[in-house]
Amino acid sequence: MKNSIRDNEQRKAGIPTIKRLPQYLRILKDLEKQDVETVSTTFLAQELNIEPIVVRKDIASTGAEGKPRIGFTTKEAIKKIEHFLGWDNVTEAFLVGAGNLGSALMGYQGFQNHGLKIIAAFDKDDKKIGQEIHGIKVLSMEKLPNLAKRMHIHIGVICVDAEHAQEVSDIMVEAGIKAIWNFTPVKLKTPDDVVSQKEDLSSGLAVLSVKLASKLGFVDIEEV
């Protein structure tokens, strides 16, 4: 990731804060479109249904400074959050597995606003190789290692079946990829210098199922 301008001030935040930052960003960008110049902590807190103190701490951790009775300057808060997340620079990424989910991710325009641009997809299926999905070329899996090294790609997205996830991860790591976005249910084993983030739809469905059962009185969800 091109973070060259980012290392002058060391910032600190917890995972829950990091997960909320894109939500503030979305609201702030909506306000910016409507030419709203400042935004109060209270407004953000109400929109997201969280405590104002949490909002204040979250945004402060990115370096944006709120003023009493005025709040945050919309533009400055956007800039600081994007900078904190490294989303002010677009990073190029490779995706492996051009099936349904892979195609959906390739077509998802939002990622570019979030600093991620999928520039090539890879698959083992001869029928998919050579095709273009949402303007992104699908290449043979064998081409990944050389291309990743030559183009200095550091982010990989894995959308293959669970049984091939670790194999694809190993190939990515060998090719110099340092961050893996994992859309399979498999917990990948990667070296210490590689980070990964798993998107597990079954976890979300589990929470929804239990929330519903809890509403119906079958289960208790503990507050943590």
207 binds a copy of itself (CB under 8 A): yes
| 45-74: contacts with a copy of itself (CB under 8 A) | 47-49
Amino acid at 79: K
Tell me which of 33, 67, 100, 126 binds a copy of itself, using CB under 8 A: 100
| 155-184: contacts with a copy of itself (CB under 8 A) | 155, 162, 178-179, 181
Q: Which of these ranges, 72-80, 119-127, 139-147, 198-206, lies near a copy of itself under the rule CB under 8 A?
A: 198-206
Tell me which of 141, 154, 165, 172 binds a copy of itself, using CB under 8 A: 154
Q: What is the DSSP letter of 4?
A: G
Token pair 């979300």 is found at 204
Name the burial class of residue 142, with classes exposed (0-12), middle (13-18) and buried (19+) by CB atoms within 10 angstroms of its CB: exposed
* Helical (H) or strand (E) element with 92: strand 91-96
The CA distances from residue 198 to 46, 64, 140, 158, 191, in Å, are 29, 29, 24, 10, 16
Asked whether the beta carbons of 67 and 126 are under 8 A apart, the reply is no
34 binds a copy of itself (CB under 8 A): no
19 binds a copy of itself (CB under 8 A): yes
33 binds a copy of itself (CB under 8 A): no
128 binds a copy of itself (CB under 8 A): no
Tell me which of 52, 63, 86, 176 binds a copy of itself, using CB under 8 A: 86
Q: Are strands 116-123 and 136-140 parallel, antiparallel or unpaired?
A: parallel
80 binds a copy of itself (CB under 8 A): no
